[in-house]
Structure 1
Amino acid sequence: FLTNRFHFHWRWFWDHGSGELGAWGSQLLDVARWGLNIEWPQRVCAVSGQRVIGDEAETPDSLHVQFEGGDKTIVWEHRTWSNHAPEGRTAGVAFFGERGTLVVDRGGWKVYGQKDAAAEGASELLEPHLRNFIDCIRTRAVPVCPLETGHVSSALCHLGNIAYRIGRSMNVDPRSGAISHDADAERLARVEYRSPWTAALA
């Protein structure tokens, strides 16, 4: 019996969880994709592993994933054991440009220019996002983040985890998000159902 498999910690086991990347990734990768106007990557590579915590968990406690798409790259990093939050934010997205850097999270934003002092602003982003979702349930309107957009951001989390688990980079079809010519990766992208259960595609 492993207490680590229950309550919050169930997410650290591949049978029923997707690690820190799956827990936070879709929310943060969604913002990164929106800011860079990226749909699917062409190549995904991941490195790291169980570096510090050393418990029974299967998912990595630190991870670095690169989603490469043409001339744009999204980099995901997490260290679940670290007590130092970059830019003073426990989670967020940074856009690095030629003339400055923009850091965004649910509580606001901060811009670092090349020479100018940093500018920043605060806003509560979570409540309006939840309100939009509830309103769209009631009205049947399309939410600010459509289902298809959420699907791509969630799928990137799975692609990153698969690249980590196979231990090498993998190519992705930039039109569909399908894994290209890698039997090991394709196997991890599918779920084997126990008989008599099956998954019907709509």
Structure 2
Amino acid sequence: MSPKPLLASRRDFLKVSAASAAVASVAPGAWASGYRSANERPVCAFIGTGIRYGQLVHDFLKFGPGAALCDVDSAQLDAAVRQFHSVYEGRGVAAPTPDRYEDYRRILDRPDIDAVVIATPDHWHVKIAIEALQAGKDVYSEKPLTHNVGEGQLMLDALGRSKGVMAVGTQQRSNYQFQTAAALARTERAGKVQRVTCGLQGAPSSDSLPKCAPPSGMNWNRWLGPAPWADFRSASELPQGGYGSEFPYSRGHAHFRWWYEYAGGKLTDWGAHHVDIALWGLGKSDASMGRFTIDPKRVDHPVEFKDGYPVDETRLNTATGFDLNVKFEDGVELDIVDRSERLDFDNGIMFECEKGRFFVNRGKLKGKPVEELEGEPLPDSAFGDLYNGLTREQAEKNGLADGVNHVRNFIDCVKSRQTPISDVASHHRHLTVCHVANIAMRLGRKVTFDPASERFVNDEQADGLLSREPRKGFEFAT
């Protein structure tokens, strides 16, 4: 369904221009240093105002004004506007009132908006991102960017045809601890990497959820969008204006991650972070990674599956536990496991090399190879390799240095037109491993995938799970 022109008159255009001028006129001190000129402050809009919005609006409003918010739930929008105002007020600045929409296409048709921040459920990311690029917007999308492998192919095609800058919210790439771990692996400081283990935690299960009406003010049809039609279900009545992970299990809002119809469970939740760093460190970010085989040695699903599809539509259905082995052609192995008794470390990533091992997560970076960095630091080139060939000094100038905010990197790239550190191409390749792992778990058997063709090896049944047709009325733009 292609967006329809919504700024039909000169009056509409002048109204939008006036709104843009209002947000651009906020005192320069409200924005981060280095972004004081009005033409350096991109005007952003937020599409999706759920569980990630609170952090994103706080980060993005450091670098420029926000003009509009969009959500299919009016209660979510009410809460989002309050958060928007609180960010400005926390900096001692009078807050403009953002325009609010249920239909994201109204944002894409506004000439005053430079970039969109997509924080919808996973199954909406690609459709909105493609249409935003076609509308001339730059795009920051929450991870995982795609619901399936086929969507990643569509996304890369659309980005290649556009002049847009696009980044993915895999913010661990902008963390110095994870950068150092990846550089240690790439430089073989502890010898060749033989195995990497990603501990992700398991996912929840639920009792049967009764069919019920969606919350008042929520457009359930638009929430589902490209996903297959399903009745709304909830363990109990949802409170208005919140819907965080602490609220009752349901289809929709914070718990969408635990339904294969909308997401991929822990494999595309934490896996989109940890598997990303593991493969970044291994240098396996394109088709040259070669074929890989995934063996689901242990899979715990809360419902039964037939031909890769859950047979019970009333319960959360993504894997609650797993022990997966990924073997690459070069002999390197990647294990992806929940936090079971098999692990002797926290949620995070363990690199096992010929001469030792080291561990990284959001709280620590440890191991003998890490301790040895004090006497023999990594060379600048080790980090330059991560930054697509930039030297350490160049990386710092382009916002890719230690501790630099992930959003700042995107904003820098909007100005420079360079590729962000969390680029779409490598994210697609890394996330494909997670998508393929989910297919192996859904089928309950070993599979082999060829990144060159982006197909399984002699496995038509598995190939059938690589993509899906969007629901009528929510087709993807081409």
SS at match of 1:172: strand
1-side partners of 2:403 and 2:255: how far apart? 24
For 1:161, give the aligned amino acid.
N
Task: Tell me if 1:92 matches 2:348.
Answer: yes
Q: Following TM superposition, where does structure 1 have runs of at least 4 consecutive aligned residues deviating by more than 4 angstroms?
A: 82-86, 124-127
2-side partners of 1:110 and 1:139: how far apart? 35
* Deviation (angstroms), 1:72: 0.8
SS at match of 2:268: helix
Asked whether the 8 Å contact 2:274–2:349 carries over to 1, the reply is yes
Asked whether the 8 Å contact 1:30–1:153 carries over to 2, the reply is yes
SS at match of 2:338: strand
For 1:19, give the aligned amino acid.
G
For 2:447, give the aligned amino acid.
M
Total equivalences in the alignment: 188
Residue 300 of structure 2 corresponds to which residue in structure 1?
49
Task: Tell me if 1:180 matches 2:457.
Answer: yes
- Label 1:174 to 1:193 Cα distance change in 2 as closer, same or farther (>3 A): closer
1-side partners of 2:403 and 2:434: how far apart? 21
- Label 1:60 to 1:144 Cα distance change in 2 as closer, same or farther (>3 A): same
Asked whether the 8 Å contact 2:299–2:444 carries over to 1, the reply is no
Match of residue 171, structure 1, among 435, 448, 451: 448
Rg larger in structure: 2
Structure 2 counterparts to residues 1-202 of structure 1, below 5 A: 1-3=233-235, 4=249, 5-39=251-285, 40=289, 41-46=291-296, 47-50=298-301, 56-70=315-329, 71-79=331-339, 86-87=344-345, 89=346, 91-112=347-368, 119=371, 128-199=405-476
Asked whether the 8 Å contact 1:93–1:103 carries over to 2, the reply is yes
SS at match of 2:273: helix
For 1:12, give the aligned amino acid.
W
* Deviation (angstroms), 1:13: 0.9
- Label 1:165 to 1:75 Cα distance change in 2 as closer, same or farther (>3 A): same
Per-residue CA distance 1:169-189 (angstroms, 9 max, x = gap): 111114243222212211111
TM-score by length of 2: 0.36
2-side partners of 1:128 and 1:61: how far apart? 32
* Deviation (angstroms), 1:112: 4.1
Asked whether the 8 Å contact 1:38–1:69 carries over to 2, the reply is no
- Label 1:77 to 1:190 Cα distance change in 2 as closer, same or farther (>3 A): same
Q: Percent identity?
A: 28
TM-score by length of 1: 0.78
For 1:73, give the aligned amino acid.
E
1-side partners of 2:461 and 2:342: how far apart? 36
2-side partners of 1:83 and 1:166: how far apart? 25
Asked whether the 8 Å contact 1:45–1:168 carries over to 2, the reply is yes
1-side partners of 2:447 and 2:343: how far apart? 30
SS at match of 1:156: helix
- Label 1:10 to 1:127 Cα distance change in 2 as closer, same or farther (>3 A): farther
1-side partners of 2:402 and 2:439: how far apart? 31
For 2:264, give the aligned amino acid.
S
Q: Aligned-pair RMSD on alpha carbons?
A: 3.0
